[in-house]
Amino acid sequence: MITIVCAEGGSTIYALKNAIKELGQPCKILLLSEDNLLVDDNYKIDTDLIHSRCGIGDYMDRLTLYSWQVLKNLEEENYKFVNSLSTIYNSSDKFKTLKILNKNGIKVPKTALIRDYGDAIRFIEKYDIKYPLILKNSFSKCGMRVDKPLNNEELKEKTKNSMWESKLIQEYIDFKDQNTGLYKDMRVLVVDGQVVGGYRRISNDYITNLYKGGSIEELKINSDVEEIALKCSEVMKGDIMAVDLLPKNDEYNVVEVNTAPGTKGFRQLGINADEIIAKCLIDRMKR
């Protein structure tokens, strides 16, 4: 039995469950928002492998640890997790992600974890960085907590609660496509050490998340991008991992990796990511 743990439902979860079932294995979904749930200190589930689609995250504008606590408690019962909980943590915490990638020679935007405006100014002066800058919450998702201050006044306003929001300040990568005036970044999916496919996310705005209305187009993955994506999944120890890159002048900055990528975009391009992920989970369950 494979259990998919998630905060809420969604098309990827049901598509994955179907793909696992079509391969002849039982699968159930543990919905952490469902009414009929009580996680006490005896809480166990009957399963051979847990695939978590949640971790630490911003939820309704607050940082929630509930899902993470449930997973960390299940860890005490020695279940198998794919991805591992340490990989999920390292990917949820964008600062830790960039630290690991940078240490392993992967190009990432210059970034600092800040407490307040003073830290932000120290960062700008140390690296001589010009506006615009990027501010984002370490554990946020879906492009919901990304900001682009244009001057000191905006920076001061937007860094007020930095320490309580696990705020990062980051170099802005100008990845606007000069021909079209559109922003196009890249998402590449790696499963089990193989590149499954990728797409460009396209948007009028620098925030390209599909959640915020970005659309997609097929990406022909060149050997540089393939190498970066494989290296990211290797150093992050991700069995299932999407890697997001911002392209600029034939260089690529990795901004984040995702251990629970949506598969809808791949489905639109005719890539059966659900089946590939399902096969990986079944393989790990049997090991």
Ligand X SMILES: Nc1ncnc2c1ncn2[C@@H]1O[C@H](COP(=O)(O)OP(=O)(O)O)[C@@H](O)[C@H]1O
Q: How far is the CB of 253 from ligand X (least distance, A)?
A: 7
Considering the complex, state which of residue 142 and residue 163 has its C-beta at the smaller distance from ligand X. 142
**Which tokens sit at 69?**
């606590």
Angle, alpha carbons 22-28-29 (nearest 5°): 120
Question: If binding is defined by CB under 6 A, does position 170 make contact with ligand X?
Answer: yes
Here's the x/- map for Mg ion, 220-259, by CB under 5 A: it reads as ------------------------------------x---
Question: If binding is defined by CB under 6 A, does position 256 make contact with ligand X?
Answer: yes
Q: Which of the stretches 30-38, 135-143, 156-164, 265-273 binds ligand X when contact is defined by CB under 6 A?
A: 135-143
Considering the complex, state which of residue 51 and residue 200 has its C-beta at the smaller distance from ligand X. 200
Question: If binding is defined by CB under 6 A, does position 109 make contact with ligand X?
Answer: yes
Q: How far is the CB of 54 from Mg ion (least distance, A)?
A: 16
**Which tokens sit at 122?**
């120290």
N-term to C-term CA, the chain: 13
- HSE, side-chain direction, 13 A CA sphere, residue 118: 2
Q: How far is the CB of 222 from Mg ion (least distance, A)?
A: 21
271 in Cβ contact with 223 (< 8 Å): no
User: How many whole angstroms separate alpha carbon 7 and alpha carbon 30?
Assistant: 8
Considering the complex, state which of residue 124 and residue 257 has its C-beta at the smaller distance from Mg ion. 257
Question: If binding is defined by CB under 6 A, does position 89 make contact with ligand X?
Answer: no
Burial of 272 (0-12, 13-18, 19+ CB in 10 A): middle
In the chain, which residue ranges form alpha helices assigned H by DSSP? 11-22, 66-75, 85-92, 94-103, 117-127, 152-158, 223-236, 264-268, 273-286
The site for ligand X, by CB under 6 A, has a size of 22
Considering the complex, state which of residue 205 and residue 283 has its C-beta at the smaller distance from ligand X. 205
Here's the x/- map for ligand X, 179-198, by CB under 6 A: it reads as ------x-------------
Considering the complex, state which of residue 17 and residue 184 has its C-beta at the smaller distance from ligand X. 184
Question: If binding is defined by CB under 6 A, does position 150 make contact with ligand X?
Answer: no
Q: Which residues on adjacent β-strands are paired with residue 6? A: 31
Considering the complex, state which of residue 255 and residue 278 has its C-beta at the smaller distance from Mg ion. 255
- Three-state DSSP at 69 gives helix
Instruction: Name the binder of 273 from Mg ion, ligand X, none, CB < 5-8 A by kind.
Output: none
Instruction: Name the binder of 173 from ligand X, Mg ion, none, CB < 5-8 A by kind.
Output: ligand X
Helix %, strand %, coil % of the chain (to 5)? 35, 25, 40
DSSP conformation letters of 250-263: TEEEEEEEESS--S
Considering the complex, state which of residue 119 and residue 247 has its C-beta at the smaller distance from Mg ion. 247
Burial of 22 (0-12, 13-18, 19+ CB in 10 A): exposed
Question: If binding is defined by CB under 6 A, does position 141 make contact with ligand X?
Answer: yes
Instruction: Name the binder of 140 from Mg ion, ligand X, none, CB < 5-8 A by kind.
Output: ligand X
User: How many whole angstroms separate alpha carbon 251 and alpha carbon 247?
Assistant: 6
Binding site for Mg ion (CB under 5 A): 256
User: Which residues are near ligand X by CB under 6 A?
Assistant: 109, 134, 136, 140-144, 146, 170-173, 185, 206-209, 244, 246, 255-256
